[in-house]
Amino acid sequence: MTGAPDVLLLLVLVTDLFIVASGRLKACVRATAAQGVLLAALPLALWVPRGDANLAHVVVIGVGALVVKAIVIPSRLLRSAREAGARREVAPYVSLHVSVLMGALLVMLSLWLARALALAPAAGGGERAALLVPASFATVLLGFLMLVARRYAVTQVVGYLMLDNGVFIFGQRLVGAVPVLVELGILLDLLAAVFVMGIAMHHIGREFDHIDTRALSTLRD
């Protein structure tokens, strides 16, 4: 387990746990931005040293991820948080201690799952980074944890973003299979999703004076 990609992936795992553990909304969003920077560097670290991938493709993906995941979306989230007058705490359903404990368990589950589903190293990039598949699974699972264990709309979007980051990590096995246009389409979809969510949060904030999702449970049978 050596090399730049594995170091990056290890840092991704650290940001995952930091997001789950942090009690402040701003810190949470900033950690998401940091994770975005790590993800932007990942394709470069994975594919440039070998020199067998289309360099322009890899750079475009890296820059795209940097702009979308590390700059635009986090700043939009911070704005949503300010606009909607969200308090600075993350308002967990599950206490932070328990969240961290569950997070650690989910990371271990991911390591086990990646071993159990061991993929024969072939044309993919699996052999280039031992942590690629487990880090991907862990980010997805911790994203789920954020989605279900937090009350504010902003933190739920952070969870969705982590989920998407996890999928992005797994997608790095397939550079070349997904055409660059489509990959940018995926990033653009994510961007649009967060913007539409941001607009929805804006209206929710005006309608209910807060963005606590507990208010959003009147529709039922």
Partner 1 sequence: MVLALLVLVPAALGLLALVWRQVRVQLAALLGAAALHLVLTAAAWVSRPPAFGAYLALDDVGLLFLSITSVLFAAVAVYAVGYLTAPTHDEPARLHRFVPFLLLFLAAMTLVTATQHLAVLWVAIEMTTLTSAPLVYFYRRGPALEAAWKYLMICSVGIALALLGTFFLGAAEAAAGAAPTLTLSGLMRAAPAMPRPWLRAAFVLALVGYGTKMGLAPLHTWLPDAHSQAPSPVSALLSGALLNCAFLGVLRFFQVCLASGDAGFARTLLLLLGFVSIAVATAFLLGQRDVKRLLAYSSVENMGIMAVGVGLGGAAAYGAMLQAVGHSLAKAGLFFLAGNVLRAYGSTAAGEIRGALRRLPVSGPLLLALVLAIGGLPPFSLFMSEYTIVQAAVGGGHPWLGALLAALLAVAFLAMAAVLLPGLQGRGERRGGAVREGFLAAAPPLALAAGVLVLGVWVPPALSRLLGSVATSLGGAGS
By CB under 8 A, name the binding residues for partner 1: 117, 119-120, 122-124, 126, 140, 144, 147, 153, 156, 160, 163-164, 166-167, 170-171, 173-174, 176-179, 182-183, 185-186, 189, 192-193, 196-197, 199-200, 203-204, 207-208, 213, 215-219, 221
How many angstroms separate the CA atoms of 55 and 44, rounded? 9
Between 2 and 56, CB nearer to partner 1: 56
Q: Which two tokens stand for residue 192?
A: 């649009």
**Residue 203 CB-half CA count within 13 A:** 6
Between 98 and 119, CB nearer to partner 1: 119
CB of 162 to partner 1, least distance (A): 10
CB of 171 to partner 1, least distance (A): 5
Between 2 and 126, CB nearer to partner 1: 126
Phi-psi region of 51 (alpha: psi -120 to 50; beta: other; left: phi over 0): left
How many angstroms separate the CA atoms of 132 and 127, rounded? 9
The label of the residue with tokens 């979809």 reads 189
Q: Which two tokens stand for residue 79?
A: 């704005």
CB of 97 to partner 1, least distance (A): 25
CB of 122 to partner 1, least distance (A): 5
> Which letter, b or e, does each residue of 88-120 get, where b requires 16 or more Cβ atoms within 10 Å of its Cβ?
eebbbeeeeeebeebbeebbeebbeebeeeeee
CB of 147 to partner 1, least distance (A): 6
Residue 17 near residue 104, CB atoms below 8 Å: yes
Between 55 and 177, CB nearer to partner 1: 177
Q: Which two tokens stand for residue 164?
A: 């998407």
How many angstroms separate the CA atoms of 135 and 128, rounded? 14
Between 97 and 203, CB nearer to partner 1: 203
Between 101 and 199, CB nearer to partner 1: 199
Count the residues in the chain.
221
CB of 18 to partner 1, least distance (A): 21
